[in-house]
Structure 1
Amino acid sequence: MSRIDELLNSAEMARAFTIAVLASVFSSLAIARMTSPVTLGTIVTVLCVLGAAILWVRRAELSLLRIAPTSLLFFMVWALISLVWTTDKGDTLSGWLLLFGYAFLAVAVGHLRDTLQTVRALGDTLRVLLLISLGLEIMSGVLLDVPFAFLGIEGDLALGGPIQGIFGSRNMLGFVAVVAIITFAIEWRSQSLEARIAVPSIALAGMLAVLSASPTVLVLAFVVGVVTLALTIVRHTPAHRRVAVQWALGVLVTIALATALLLRHRIIALMDAGSDFSIRADLWNTILDIVAIRPLTGWGWFGSWAAGEYPFTYINFLLSDSHRSALNAYFDTLLQLGAAGLVLILLLGGIAAVRSWLVASVRRSVVYAWTPLMLVTLAVESMFESFALVGPGWFLLVLCALRAGQSRSWRENIDAAQTGFVPTLRTEP
């Protein structure tokens, strides 16, 4: 083995690569604004080439069948096929390449690092990025009292927020803060992080979540809290009663969702998000009218809405607004890839959520809870933003889907249709 191969195959290179990927992905908006989208694309490309080289050196450890979830491949192929009917082939191709780049980086990290190593690397990265965000907000809103327009920082920290940090919007900061809280808590509970670091880290993320003044943070915090409680109950339930408890929780979730739907107006009023939700409702109704023209295929994949492209400019014209997304990942997928694309993205997230939940239910280590909690966070956030389709959100979705498939895959159950026996994970004592 050559010296280059030894370097690429080393544990140090795997960790350095993972940190570089996470730092680039979660600071992608700041990179694009401070330099240009071309610079961001170049960074992603270089990291993809490096990741491919590392995977090639480690090819003996990999299985081609397990390289990526089948549902992910189907979604990527459908997005690429949309080149046939898109309104702009150039923007669709560039949007797909960025989609592929983030997905490839997630696949590379998923194969190079296990769940605990990934959580620790993500925790280290988010601690630094959140501290940078707080520092810039203090400089802008307290020390200099000058907005940092190139980063979207408005300098409202002294007024109690809302703040954006380096993430471009208060909702994105809120989303990243919730991801950080979950990650820091898992680090702490898995004893990979001491309390003297974990507690301040959680406090930092919680403070930024509050200062973001994002209405979605309240929903995310509540849902993640409930899901964490439910998962804790399942994990501490004796194996012979676990199935019954799972079904009972499923019924409770169904009832809760129905109740939330019936009381949605009161909930929105309590969140003081009436005008914000009204904007979204008008946008979604308009999108449904446009989707009706191409219900199955959509208008072609773009990711973030391309400026000057139909139907995005037409939607903004009708609403006298300047939206850059559908403010809902499900509606965005329906608009761009039609009903077929929506089914594929739901399969990608849904299968991963079920797999990861079952794994976390029976494995002793608390680190296995990270994946289902991330997927729940993404699913709920997708009701209010399109983060799961671009940038850090898409990266996390692919990473979690890959992680779930590594522990529980259809390939392990391929004999079930013939034998009637469905393999299950061994329950750890």
Structure 2
Amino acid sequence: MAERRSLLPPGGQAFLGSAVFASAVTTAIFLTAFSTQLLRSLLGWPGFLSIIAGLIIAALASLWYRRTHLEWHGTLPISVVVFVGWAVLSVFWSDTTISTGMRLVYLLSFGFLGFYVAVLRDTIQIVRAVGDALRILLVVSLVLEILSGVLIDQPIRFLRIDGNIATLGPIQGVFGTRNQLGFIAVIALITFAIETATNSIPRRVGRWSLLLAAASLLLSRSPVAIGVVAVVAAATLALFGLRRVPAASRWIWQIALVTGLAVLGVIVWIARLRVIELLNAGSEFEVRYRLWRSMLSYQSQDGLQGWGWVGTWPDTPPFLWMNLATGRDNSTGLNAYLDVWFQLGLVGFFAFVALVGLALVRSWLLASDKRSIVYVWPALILVALASVSLAESSTLFESGWMLLIICAVKASRSMSWRDALPKRDPVPLEPSPK
């Protein structure tokens, strides 16, 4: 049989299959995913979607020309397949079939980009790429905030920058809202800390990076981000405590930790009315609480299916009804778990909880057992995603969704029941530049 000829010369094929090209595509993916608000403001939806399409084409080419070097065994977690599959099926009962289909393509696009990064890059390489992207975007954010709030003393409306840096915030940077900036700053703190601890960057760069992330977090004045930081700090202390425990008795401490969290959860549930009363003292929680009650009242009659996947809310019923009821234009349910429940019903809710839970448990066990500190990064990122999902829906979209897929795939490849199945040995890869 005649051998199929490629349209590309051998040099082009070698470049597309090289580690250098994979590294460049990965960095471009993170820069795009974390700056979606900025890109849409500058280029509009057509330009932004063109960038996404270009990244997908580049990722497909990279995967194709490196396919013989990759181990595909146990690559995609079943929990991801179940959740995404149910979301795709929701197109059949959604009242907005075309809109649901288009938004599912958007969800799948960022999911595929996350899958590409997780399969082709090692964890430390992912940490470096995230760190490089966030350093650039946080610096750009502070520069634009200084330009708006100090130099011209005018808001930059099309970038949603209010120019409040002269009064020490709240600022939004290039991320659209203060809560999103605050959450990105939390991701940056985790990433820069791991970069510094693993000596992946010079110590001086690491210290300045941590200062940059901390300043962005404080200037955002985001109560949501402050809460996430508190949870991540507690998880970090617990995780490093477990890493110091002898391996033989570590499982006992893991069980004790789970038991303590369960008891705390029961106490919070019993005292929920008092907790809600305390939290309701602030307007930030009041808005969310009214919205969540409205979502429960407008829940689909078929509680198993939901209304159908739409991602960010369109200006159509039943989402329009909830915005009218709360007197505020909400683009999400401000809670990833309730958002999934509302759009995909109980089946989607349990599938999403299973996806987050399995990824978190696997990553946590790896981070507590493995010697390398780089395993801590996926665990803490998942802790941040799981906790922010209580007050924001960012885990379901763009960079949040992509980080969830990356961490879930990485955890599954390192700890999966499919490890018992026979494997084939991949062809060794050439050394990576990072």
Report if TM-score (shorter chain) is over 0.5: yes
The answer to whether the 8 A contact 2:300-2:306 is kept is no
Inter-partner Cα distance in structure 1 for 2:239 and 2:329 = 40
C-alpha deviation, 1:216, in angstroms: 1.0
Question: Aligned runs of 1:76-225 on 2, under 5 Å?
Answer: 76-225=84-233
Select the residue among 331, 335, 343 that pairs with 1:336.
Answer: 343
Give the residue type in structure 2 aligned to 1:358: L
Larger relative contact order (Cα-Cα within 8 Å, sequence gap ≥ 6): 2
Question: Aligned runs of 1:379-394 on 2, under 5 Å?
Answer: 379-394=386-401
C-alpha deviation, 1:75, in angstroms: 1.4
Question: Aligned runs of 1:24-423 on 2, under 5 Å?
Answer: 24-261=32-269, 274-307=282-315, 309-413=316-420
C-alpha deviation, 1:119, in angstroms: 0.2
C-alpha deviation, 1:221, in angstroms: 1.2
C-alpha deviation, 1:256, in angstroms: 3.1
Percent identical pairs in the alignment equals 41
C-alpha deviation, 1:126, in angstroms: 0.4
Query: What SS does the corresponding residue of 1:283 show, helix, strand or coil?
Result: helix
Inter-partner Cα distance in structure 2 for 1:221 and 1:260 = 19
C-alpha deviation, 1:411, in angstroms: 0.3
Q: Deviations over 1:30-88 (max 9, x none)?
A: 11122212222221111111101111111113344433222111211111111111111
C-alpha deviation, 1:21, in angstroms: 0.4
Q: Deviations over 1:347-393 (max 9, x none)?
A: 11111111111111111110000001000100000000000000111
Q: Deviations over 1:88-135 (max 9, x none)?
A: 112111110110000000011111110000001110110010000000
Q: Tell me: CA distance 1:163–1:218, structure 2 relative to 1, closer, same or farther (3 Å).
A: same
Q: Deviations over 1:9-34 (max 9, x none)?
A: 11110110111000010001111122
Q: Tell me: CA distance 1:290–1:269, structure 2 relative to 1, closer, same or farther (3 Å).
A: closer
Q: Which residue of the partner structure matches residue 422 of structure 1?
A: none
Uncovered stretches (5+) of structure 1, i.e. residues with no partner: 416-429
Inter-partner Cα distance in structure 2 for 1:270 and 1:376 = 24
Query: What SS does the corresponding residue of 2:417 show, helix, strand or coil?
Result: coil
C-alpha deviation, 1:410, in angstroms: 2.1
Count, aligned residues? 414
The worse-fitting range, judged by mean Cα deviation, of 318-327 and 378-387 is 318-327
Inter-partner Cα distance in structure 2 for 1:87 and 1:22 = 33
Q: Deviations over 1:308-366 (max 9, x none)?
A: x2211111122222111000001110111111111111111111111111111111110
Query: What SS does the corresponding residue of 1:108 show, helix, strand or coil?
Result: helix
Query: What SS does the corresponding residue of 1:231 show, helix, strand or coil?
Result: helix
The worse-fitting range, judged by mean Cα deviation, of 108-117 and 292-301 is 292-301
Q: RMSD value over aligned CA atoms?
A: 1.8
Inter-partner Cα distance in structure 1 for 2:206 and 2:75 = 33
Inter-partner Cα distance in structure 2 for 1:73 and 1:105 = 15
Inter-partner Cα distance in structure 1 for 2:277 and 2:232 = 21
Q: Which residue of the partner structure matches residue 418 of structure 1?
A: none
C-alpha deviation, 1:194, in angstroms: 2.1
Uncovered stretches (5+) of structure 2, i.e. residues with no partner: 1-8, 423-434
The answer to whether the 8 A contact 1:215-1:271 is kept is no
Inter-partner Cα distance in structure 1 for 2:274 and 2:317 = 36
Q: Tell me: CA distance 1:240–1:381, structure 2 relative to 1, closer, same or farther (3 Å).
A: same
Q: Tell me: CA distance 1:268–1:171, structure 2 relative to 1, closer, same or farther (3 Å).
A: farther
Q: Which residue of the partner structure matches residue 427 of structure 2?
A: none
The answer to whether the 8 A contact 2:74-2:419 is kept is no
Give the residue type in structure 2 aligned to 1:348: L
Inter-partner Cα distance in structure 2 for 1:260 and 1:201 = 36
TM-score (norm 1): 0.93
Query: What SS does the corresponding residue of 2:361 show, helix, strand or coil?
Result: helix
Inter-partner Cα distance in structure 2 for 1:340 and 1:408 = 25
Inter-partner Cα distance in structure 2 for 1:342 and 1:268 = 23
Give the residue type in structure 1 aligned to 2:297: D
Query: What SS does the corresponding residue of 1:35 show, helix, strand or coil?
Result: helix
The answer to whether the 8 A contact 1:162-1:213 is kept is yes
The worse-fitting range, judged by mean Cα deviation, of 167-176 and 211-220 is 211-220
